[in-house]
A and B are shown apart, each in its own frame.
Chain A
C-alpha cells in the first residue's frame, strides 16, 4: 500500500488531479470576487473589513499552488499549504454546517449549500470528506518530496 501510494506515477496522477481541482475552483471565484466575499461572510469567521481582501487573494493562492503541483516548483511548500488550507476549509464548512443545523434542525446528512468552493451548491458530508482527502494527498506528496530530498542529501 505504502509503495503504491508513493509510486512516482501515482504521485504524478495525484499532483495533476489536485492541480486541476485547485485551478478550476479558483477560476470560478476570480470572476466574481464580490459574490465569493459574500459566501465567505456566511461563515461568520472573518471580520467584514478583510472579506474583500481574502476573496481576492485566496483564489490566487490556489492557482499558484496548482501551478506548483504541475511544475514541481516549490512543491513541498505547495503540498503543506494545500493540507493546511483544506484543514481550515473542512473545519470552516463543519462550523457553518453546525450553525445551520442548530438554527434549522436539518439533519447533517441532508445538508447542501454553496460553500464558496467554486462548485456551486454541494452536498456537505461529501465536501468535508473531499477536503480531508485533499489534506491526506497534500501530506503524501509532501512526505514523498521530503524523502527524495533526504535521499539526495544523503548522497
Chain B
C-alpha cells in the first residue's frame, strides 16, 4: 500500500512539475498537438494561385520537383526550410527562410507576419526520408496557415536537378 502511494505521489509530482515547466518554458509545446500523423492525400495536387479553394480543406499537399520549381519561379509564396540552422547554412534553396521545426518558438515569430501575408507556403527538408517538412506543415496548418505545400524530395532532389543552392545563415 505504501509502495503504491509513493508511486502515485511521484507520478503526480512529475505531472505537476512537467506541465508547469512546459507552460512557462520558451521551448514549451502543445501537450495535445499532433503534428506527427501522416495523411494519405492520394493524387491531389496544388494547382496554383487561382485554385486555392481546392486545397483549403487539406492540411498538407505534397508536390514534386516540377511543381516546387514553378512555385519558386513564379514567387507564389514563402519557401521554408525545416532543417537545422547548420544544415541551412551548409546550403539551402535560394530565397528559402529557416524555420527549424524543433525550435519553432525561436524562428516562427520572426517569420509569422511574412507567412501570414503569403498566399501559399512551400516547405522542404533534407530528402525523401525526412519527415520534418511534413511535421512543420501540419503545425503551420494548425496555426491557421494554408495552403501548405510540401516538397517531399527536399534539398537532395533539388541538387540532383543541378540547381544552385545558397549558402550562409538566415539574415532576416
Contacts and interface: CB of A to CB of B under 8 A. Distances in A.
Interface stretch (A8-16, A27-35, A95-103, A121-129): A27-35
Interface string A65-91: 100100000101110110000000000
Determine chain A's interface SS by DSSP, over half rule.
Answer: helix
B105 to A, nearest CB: 9
Interface centre among B6, B13, B27 (most CB of A within 10 A): B6
B101 A34 contact: yes
Nearest to A34: B102
A77 B3 contact: yes
Interface in A20-64: 30-35, 37-38, 41, 48-49, 51-53, 55-57, 59-61, 63-64
B18 A76 contact: no
Contacts of B13: 64
Contacts of B28: 33
Contact of B14 (A32, A48, A61): A61
A60 B15 CA distance: 8
B82 to A, nearest CB: 12
Contacts of B19: 56-57
Interface in B8-47: 9-11, 13-15, 17-19, 21-22, 25, 27-34, 36-37
A49 B19 CA distance: 16
Contacts of A30: 21, 25, 27
Contacts of A74: 6, 9-10
A31 B27 CA distance: 6
Interface residues of A, number: 30
Contact of A60 (B17, B34, B37): B17
Contacts of A64: 10, 13-14, 17
Given A32-B102, A38-B102, A41-B36, A61 B31 contact: no
B22 A56 contact: yes
B165 interface: no
B135 interface: yes
Given A48-B34, A52-B34, A57-B18, A37 B29 contact: yes
A48 B6 contact: no
Given A33-B27, A64-B10, A64-B14, 17 more contacts: A30-B21, A34-B103, A38-B36, A49-B34, A51-B36, A53-B31, A56-B31, A57-B15, A57-B19, A60-B15, A60-B21, A61-B18, A64-B13, A76-B6, A77-B3, A77-B5, A81-B10
Interface of A: 30-35, 37-38, 41, 48-49, 51-53, 55-57, 59-61, 63-65, 68, 74, 76-78, 80-81
22 contacts: A33-B22, A33-B27, A33-B29, A34-B29, A34-B101, A34-B103, A38-B102, A48-B36, A48-B37, A49-B32, A49-B34, A52-B31, A52-B34, A53-B32, A55-B29, A59-B18, A63-B14, A64-B10, A76-B3, A77-B3, A80-B3, A80-B7
